[in-house]
């Protein structure tokens, strides 16, 4: 029998149980979670039956994956196109130095790490770039989709898929000391396109150029994981219906109402799923020997500002017509309209990852 003794009535009133027997079919590892009234034995069983897709296993994605794995979510499908690097370890909590030394794909490394602390759940690692051609396959048969990605291009794709198929998902992002998150319940709340009708234009801050605090990551991941638990156990009346943003360094916090879809929204109003059709993403082609071209258009780039951001990360030069950035073994040539040529790879997923990291997307 597992017991918890409340020190005073206020704890009891907040939902903690006193001397509550633990059901025999609930593993001891979840006993403290089951004692929380919002979860309980029934909720824990629902978690065990849940299937969650996590798109991106970088900072936010790895943190939320660890939290949900320890909470007993039965199946986690982790989708990521990247590999572990030493610079990830400051904030990406599922990885260690051996993963970075071996350049393990993040999805594989995450699956190995989770298996070491919870062998009772299923982890499905998918080393893949989520694109319109595979989004249906990779997100199929899941109850909830969680955002751990690093770019709006993929988030709009997830939003289109989720709205079209009435699949709940949670947007989450962190950069610098700032984090933001939004729960999307299609047909009930605002979707990502309701709040942000258009992709950000110009330069976008990334972890590579603006830095990031691991505390900001873990705050947003914790909020995202908690909202996921609410959804999966059926506590829908407790789900937050705002866009929540926090800055842990400047002590700022803000919320924007998101309880209803926006009238005339492209996605949930007009059901015009341009990102599922591939219209909302840059065209990518192989370009000569060992290079990839990203045909991003109508995204004016300030070479002076970007050059200053990139300076600590490699060699950078620019004039009025082109910016060149060298970071071994790759070379990025960027044009004023956002188009880029990435040399040193023929892998379009690697090229997209480099673009997102150093230019923003």
Reference 331, options 302, 283, 281, 293; nearest CA is 293
Determine how many CB atoms are found less than 10 A away from the CB of residue 274. 15
From CA 265, how far away is CA 52, in angstroms rounded?
26
Q: Which of 57, 191, 194, 207 is catalytic?
A: 207
Q: Please answer whether residues 292 and 284 qualify as being in contact, where contact means their C-beta atoms are separated by less than 8 angstroms.
A: yes
Tell me which DSSP letter residue 136 carries: H
SS3 per residue for 210-258: HCECHHHHHHHHHHHHHHHHHHHHCCHHHCCCEEEEEECCCCEEEEEEC
Structure tokens at 134: 């595979």
Cis peptide before 329 (omega within 30 of 0): yes
- Strands 75-80, 122-127: pairing kind: parallel
From CA 127, how far away is CA 344, in angstroms rounded?
20
Give the CA angle between residues 192, 195, 196 to the nearest 5°: 80
From CA 87, how far away is CA 224, in angstroms rounded?
24
SS3 111: helix
- How far is the CA of 80 from the CAs of 19, 46, 50, 163, 237, in angstroms? 43, 26, 20, 22, 32
From CA 302, how far away is CA 38, in angstroms rounded?
49
- How far is the CA of 250 from the CAs of 142, 158, 314, 359, in angstroms? 37, 31, 29, 25
Annotation marks residue 207 as catalytic: yes
Tell me which DSSP letter residue 317 carries: E
Reference 294, options 336, 345, 334; nearest CA is 334
Give catalytic residue positions.
Answer: 207
């Amino acid at each position: 029998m597992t017991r918890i003794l409340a020190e005073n009535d206020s704890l009891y009133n907040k939902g903690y149980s006193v001397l509550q027997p633990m059901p025999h079919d609930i593993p001891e590892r979840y006993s403290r979670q089951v004692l929380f009234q919002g979860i309980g034995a029934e909720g824990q069983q629902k978690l065990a039956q849940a299937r969650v897709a996590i798109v991106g296993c970088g900072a936010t994605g790895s943190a939320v994956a660890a939290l949900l794995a320890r909470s007993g979510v039965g199946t986690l499908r982790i989708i990521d196109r990247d590999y572990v690097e030493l610079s990830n370890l400051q904030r990406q909590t599922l990885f260690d130095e051996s993963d970075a030394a071996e350049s393990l794909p993040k999805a594989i490394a995450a699956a190995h790490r989770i298996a070491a602390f919870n062998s009772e759940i299923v982890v499905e690692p998918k080393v893949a770039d989520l694109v319109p051609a595979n989004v249906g396959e990779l997100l199929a048969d899941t109850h909830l989709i969680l955002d751990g990605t690093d770019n709006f291009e993929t988030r709009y794709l997830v939003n289109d898929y989720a709205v079209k198929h009435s699949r709940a998902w949670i947007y989450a992002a962190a950069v610098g000391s700032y984090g933001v998150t939004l729960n999307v319940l299609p047909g009930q709340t605002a979707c990502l396109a309701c709040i942000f009708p258009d992709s950000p234009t110009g330069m976008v801050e990334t972890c590579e150029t603006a830095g990031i605090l691991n505390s900001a990551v873990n705050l947003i991941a914790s909020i995202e994981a908690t909202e996921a638990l609410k959804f999966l156990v059926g506590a829908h009346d407790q789900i937050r219906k705002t866009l929540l943003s926090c800055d842990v360094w400047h002590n700022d916090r803000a919320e924007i109402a998101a309880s209803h879809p926006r009238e005339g929204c492209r996605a949930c109003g007009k059901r015009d799923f341009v990102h599922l059709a591939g219209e909302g993403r840059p065209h990518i082609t192989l370009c000569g020997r060992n290079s990839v071209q990203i045909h991003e258009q109508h995204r004016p780039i300030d070479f002076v500002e970007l050059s200053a951001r990139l300076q600590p990360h490699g060699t950078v030069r620019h004039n009025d017509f082109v910016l060149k950035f060298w970071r071994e073994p790759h070379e990025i040539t960027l044009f004023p309209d956002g188009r880029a040529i990435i040399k040193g790879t023929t892998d379009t997923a690697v090229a997209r990852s480099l673009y997102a990291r150093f230019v923003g997307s």
